[in-house]
Structure formats: structure tokens, C-alpha cells
Structure 1
Amino acid sequence: MKFRNKTLSLNSPQVMGILNVTPDSFSDGGKFNHMDAALAQAEQMVKDGATILDIGGESTRPGAEDVPEALELQRVIPIIEALSTRFDVVLSIDTSKAVVMREAVVAGADLINDVCALQLEGALQVAAETDAAICLMHMQGQPRTMQLSPEYENVIQDVKAFLQQRMQACIDSGISKDRLIIDPGFGFGKTLQHNCDLLAGISRFHDLRAPVLVGVSRKSMFGALLGRDVNERLVPSVVAAVLAAQQGAAILRVHDVKETVDALKLLSITQR
């Protein structure tokens, strides 16, 4: 797949390392919100096998507060500029704000990763004006309230219908389909059962004919299912990533890059 001036084969699962330059993200908030720490973490993830780095300046955890545009820019643009000169990997901007998307691409981002699927004001137009790849994610509700009482008639069919509609909106705006990636949005307006149904049904998204990104790393579903604290979710996170890869997920968005890469290497020898 083309990511601006970079090409990355999605014939085998690629690992996207999460780099939250925020003080309040649910798992790693405050760890990497200074330049030196962020660069060191990025370097380690690249060494561990990440081919994509996803930089986020606003937490989207349940109950998260909105971050002003200027503050988000202040958080993400310097690190994207620095990373673009240091590493030959795909850089992703995790944002829903049109201005942040535009400035991040100018700074060197190759992928726009939007939990709101380009629904906020100006986002679709800005994305269409760039040459970046785009990840459209499904979310029911907004981060502050999305986990209050999510309901679906059929979670897989409903999520697929939404993603198909957003893909068509992109195409109608002049964005070629080969720039699009889809994400069912684990934990974003979903109950534990919804998340489990989605994990079991990843293969059913392939008829949308777009690469599927799966992000289940350290999610609260593992706390609810297994009683594990956020810092005790390595094993279920890696197992879930492997289950997604077995069903054809193209990109795995993770905190624990090394362990996920190792697991995928083991998976690959069983699929030769």
C-alpha cells in the first residue's frame, strides 16, 4: 500500500507502535509527552520491528476531555518533524481535527488515523487535499460518553455499514479507495460482548475490500474478561493480535511492539 512517498506491503501483518504524547492516555499517559522520551520510545519501537508509528496528542479513552487545537498541535508537530528526519517508517497522526491533520501531513505524516472517520468539520476536505493514506474508525458516540450504554442490532453488520458509508463519502470527495484503511474500533462505544463479537468476526470485514486495522492493545475488555489491570494485559493483548492476524488483519496497533512482532513471526511459520 502507498503511504505518500513510502510503500509498505500489507501481504503480511504490519505492527503499528503507539506513541501517545499526552499526559492522560489510559495506558501510557505522561510517559512520552517530552521530546527526549518520545524519541527514545520511537527508536525502541522501530528497533523492535514497528513499521508504522502512530502519534497522538489527544486521549480518546472513555471520559477523556477535549484538547484545544493549539495544544494538540504543540504536542504532535515537533515530534512528527523530528521522527520524519530520523526513521524511514510510516508516520501516522492520530487526530480528528482538520487543522491538525493538515499540519501533521506538512510535518511529515503519511497516514491520517481518525477515530471519527473524517466526520468532524473540515476533516473530509482536508484529507482529500492531502496525499496521505487514511484510516477510518468506527465509534458509537463520543469519547466522554461512548461507554454509557452502547447498543447495536448486530454489531458486525452495523459497524460494517458505517464504515462502508464513510468509505463512500471519501470516494465521493475525490479520495481514491486505495488510500483507505478501516478499523472496527474496539472499545469505542462497545460492550465486552460487542468487542468479543468483533474479534471473532474480523474476517467478515474483508468484503469491504480495504485493509483492516485492529487495535486491542491493553483494552479494558481484558480487564472485564480476565480481571487484569492495565499493566497486566500483555499476554491477552498479544494473543488477540495473533487472533486478528489469523483472520487477515493487515495492521495491528499495539503498545508492546517487540512481543507482538515475535508472536507474528511464530504465526508466520505455521502459514507457509
Structure 2
Amino acid sequence: MRLFFKKRSTFKLFLKLTDWNNLLNSLTQNVIGIINSTKDSFTGDGVFENKERLGFLLKTAEEKEIKILDVGGVSTKPGFKEVRYEQELKRFNFFISNYFGKFKLSVDTMNYEIARHALENNFEIVNDVSGFNDLKMIQLIVEKAPKIILVHRHPNSSDIQEKMNYKDVVKEVRDHLEEKIENLISHGVDKSRISIDPGLGFGKSMEDSQKLFDNLEYFSFGFPLVVGYSKKKFAQNLEMTHEELYDHCIKSGVSLVRLHIAS
């Protein structure tokens, strides 16, 4: 299956966000390419201990003019098992040891020690799907001042995959994100470093994820918006082509679409 990317739209971000704004304005694609340094990714595209596969994805990303890569060493598929720090570090170091190119790098982790290791190895972005619930992670962000992707997580959930009940999922997710942003800023996180992600598929039913996807424009409230729908079940149930899914995001004000590089 060929992934379709258009050239970056003329949609302008009227945001006074020094770091994110400069990065976004330098892109030719509104895309973050996904690199799973695992063997148990739900998409079956993990590169851990597979140099050939990693090399192929890096070259493909270059050819498609993808400038940002999001690298993770833990599968977040439904029913995933927690991975010990040592194992996640091993997977992450495999990527670092075999990486080539001139990409902007994002670390996809819930572990502040992995995030610190990444930032000490030229990563610029921290993508925490647990919603920055760990105070040590927040303190690291304040100390190192990377750009961050704040992924929505229901404040009452026990883990990122626990299905939560929503009365008005669009309003509640936005409210949760706004509250979390205030919390991060109160701890000293620079507002200009924050982008947001409504967390499609994380702790949400397919119906709720579809409602969020249909109302993405509701999340354009002063922060770059990141969205990931690639290969998720709710998106597969929508009667939309890859091009239509991507176009819907861009027209809704999404700054970055998180996509698998190749299938």
C-alpha cells in the first residue's frame, strides 16, 4: 500500500510559538514518520534488530521529504505488556547506533529516563502518550526545554488503554487538555514548547475516536495540533481514502499528522 503525502498546505499558524513555529515553517510535509524500534508493534513494522528494515524506512522517509521521525521502543497496542527500562533502552539504543540522516527526532516514551537519554542524544521532541503524568518527566521538560507532544489521557484512567466513558467526548477531551496545559505551565514548562494530541484510539471507543476525528477543528485553540490515525481500527472503519483522511486533518487545522512511513 502506497502512502500518499501532499505538499504542505498553505494553512498558516498564527501562533507566537518560537520553537514549534520555526520547525513547522521549515517543513515540506505536515508529517511525523513513525519508527517502531520493537518486535511487537501492532502494525508488524518493528525495526528492532533489523538494520535492513530500519535503513529502508530512513531512506523512504528521505525520499518522501519527511523531516520528523517519532521513535518508540514500547508497543502501545491494546493489551500491551509493560517493558522494563533495560529492554526499552536496548531497543532505543539499537536505533541510535544504526540511525543515519538529518531528521528532527522525537522520542515516544512514558519513561523519563529514556526521555533524558534521548535528549542527550540529539532528540528535540518528547512524545508522552501517558499525558505527562509523571512529575519527574515534567521536571525533565522544564530542565531540558524540548518541544513536547501532550497526548490526551483521561485524568481518572489507570492506564492509557483503559476505556473511559464520555458524555461529550469532544468537549471533555479539550477540557482535559486545557487543564493539563495549565498544570504544565504552572510547573514551569514553556508554553511555546507545547503541542497537543487528542489521543485517538487511546482509552477511547471507536465511536469516540471517530467523533474526535470528525471535530478536529475544535482542538485548534492556540497550540500546534498533532493527530495520529495511521492503521488504527477507527480510521479503517471510516469510508475515506488515505488522501481524504490526510486532507481532512490539514483542513481542520492539524499541524502534524503522525503516519507510518511505509506499508
TM range (shorter): 0.7 to 0.9
Residue 66 of structure 1 aligns with which residue?
82
Q: 2:228 corresponds to which residue?
A: 215
- Deviation string, structure 1 residues 82-109 (Cα, Å, up to 9, x no partner): 53xx322210000011100100110111
**In structure 1, what is the equivalent of residue 177 of structure 2?**
163
Give aligned pairs, total: 244
Paired position in structure 2 for 1:187: 201
Amino acid at match of 1:184: P
SS of the aligned residue for 1:91 comes to strand
Quick check: 1:255 aligned with 2:260? yes
Match of 1:99 in 2: 113
Q: Give, in angstroms, the shift of residue 3 of structure 1.
A: 5.2
* 1:138-157 equivalent positions in 2, closer than 5 A: 138-140=152-154, 141=157, 145-147=161-163, 150-157=164-171
* Structure 2 counterpart of 1:43: 59
Alignment partners' CA distance in 2, 1:138 and 1:120:
14
Equivalent residue number for residue 220 of structure 2: 206
Distance in 2 of aligned mates of 1:49 and 1:38: 17
1:242 partner amino acid: D
Q: CA deviation at 1:161?
A: 1.2
Asked if the contact 1:241/1:252 (under 8 Å) is kept, the reply is yes
What percent of counterpart residues are identical?
27
Cα deviation, 1:11-40, whole Å, max 9, x if unaligned, reads 986211000011111113445543342233
Choose which of 27, 30, 54 in structure 1 pairs with 2:43: 27
Please tell me whether the aligned partners of residues 216 and 253 of structure 2 are also in contact (alpha carbons under 8 angstroms): yes
- Counterpart Cα distance in 2 of 1:194 and 1:10: 33
Give the gaps of 5 or more residues in structure 1: 227-234, 259-272
Conserved 8 A contact 1:136-1:182: yes
- Amino acid across the alignment from 1:103: H
Amino acid at match of 2:203: G
Q: What one-letter code is carried by the residue in structure 2 that aligns with 1:246? A: K
Instruction: Find the counterpart in structure 1 of residue 9 from structure 2.
Output: none
User: Which position in structure 2 is the counterpart of 1:57?
Assistant: 73
> For residues 179 and 224 of structure 1, do their structure 2 counterparts lie closer, same or farther at Cα, with a shift above 3 Å needed?
same
Counterpart amino acid of residue 194 in structure 1: D
Larger CA deviation: 121-130 vs 50-59: 121-130
Quote the residue 1:239 is aligned against: 244
SS at structure 2 position matched to 1:194: helix
Structure 1 counterpart of 2:127: 113
- Rate the CA distance shift 1:184–1:145 in 2: closer, same or farther, 3 A: closer
Asked whether the 8 Å contact 1:114–1:136 carries over to 2, the reply is yes
Give 1:137's aligned residue. Answer: 151
**RCO (CA 8 Å, sep 6+): is it higher in 1 or 2?**
2
Aligned position for 2:140: 126
Asked if 1:173 is matched to 2:187, the reply is yes
Letter in 2 for 1:165: E
Change (3 A) 1:143 1:238: farther
Higher helix share: 1
Structure 2: give runs of 5+ residues left out of the alignment: 1-16
Letter in 1 for 2:216: I
Normalised by the length of structure 1, the TM-score is 0.81
